[in-house]
Amino acid sequence: MKKVRFGILTYGKVAHLHAQALQSIPELELVAVWGRNKEKRDHFAATYGIKAFDDISDMIHSAQVDAVLVASPHPQHTQHSLEALEAGAHVLIEKPMALHTADCDRIIETAARLHRKVGVISQRRWYPAVQRIREAIDRGKLGKPMIGQVTMLGWRDESYYRSDPWRGSWGGEGGGVLVNQAPHQLDLLQWFMGPVIEVFAYWDNINHPYIEVEDTALALVRFASGGMANILVSNSQKPGIYAKVHVHGTSGASVGVQTDGGAMFVAGLSKITEPPSNDIWTIPGEEANLVNWKAQDEALFKSIDGTTYFHGLQFKDFADAILDDRPPLVDGMEGRKTASLIEAIYQSGKEHRPISL
């Protein structure tokens, strides 16, 4: 069996999560890490029994790396992805793909020119509760999805923002709740509802005076299908309540998923506290499924490490896409959609007007 050889760019908290997930999949092999801080990258390499490098191209060629996981701070995603592509690797990028749509386009165009795959981390698509919604939409059980809702009420305290020097600043992080916590739910909304064509938004900092960026954002969205959605994402509710995505169709039926519950998960600092589950399901004849599904999801959650298991499923999909020469489930164009929506929300909030995509 051919194994896809992975390298990781940088060695921060989320990189440890990715390393553990990569090493849990038999079809994959984690072989190298790149970073500028010798002490940190050497410690990371020793922890996982891999080689350390201070040059991306050298890592890819010397360690015979097939694919690179880009886990650097958001403003560096574009540069690091392009360097890895030019050196011959496929790239799987932590969310968000990039801070600007134009940078997403550069990555996508470079990958196409070099015949390489691009993927973007969105492991929540592999949650069983999310897969049920996608299947219901595909089978026409909602009619046409016309109303969407994203509600994320979370919390990040001062110690979180002090845990890394780049957090909470426009230069270091590129934004706040929109670029760091919300991309997962925004990805699901568009996966369910389709392409966005117009956005009107507000965003602000409600109760985090020690950071530069927003901790709360609200938006109204119009889709190419004619559907619409409202978005509320916030890091201002102690200790964190839930994150939910709901879809309502022309048939009158509604479905939903609570992707996160209780205190919000922080990579490297906490565990996922509650299993993801369907919280609304009114498709005629299927209403009673909620009880059985909840039991199934709880049983699965108890049998796995929820912080790494679903990442592992996405890593396997990306590796299979390389070996089978097909697009990964969450490819560059999918990642671009979320980056474009976030960019439009920021622009709308700054300019106080609707933004067309």
pLDDT in tens, 248-265: 999 999 999 999 997 655
How confident is residue 239, by pLDDT bands cut at 50, 70 and 90? confident
pLDDT of res. 352: 98
pLDDT in tens, 32-66: 999 999 999 999 999 999 999 999 999 999 999 99
pLDDT of res. 263: 61
Helix, strand, coil percentages (3-state) for the chain, rounded to 5, are 40, 25, 35
pLDDT of res. 8: 98
* Mean pLDDT, residues 158-177: 93
Lateral strand order in the sheet of 145-153: 277-281, 254-261, 242-249, 145-153, 228-234, 216-223, 196-204, 355-356
d(CA 203, CA 349): 6
d(CA 356, CA 186): 17
pLDDT of res. 270: 54
For the chain, give the mean pLDDT: 95
d(CA 238, CA 206): 13
pLDDT in tens, 204-216: 999 999 999 999 9
Q: How far is CA 219 from CA 186, 230, 355, in A?
A: 11, 6, 11
* Mean pLDDT, residues 300-326: 96
Spell out the domains of the chain, with CATH numbers in brackets: 4-123+311-329 (3.40.50.720), 124-304+338-356 (3.30.360.10)
Q: Is the pLDDT of residue 11 over 70?
A: yes
Beta bridge partners of 118: 91
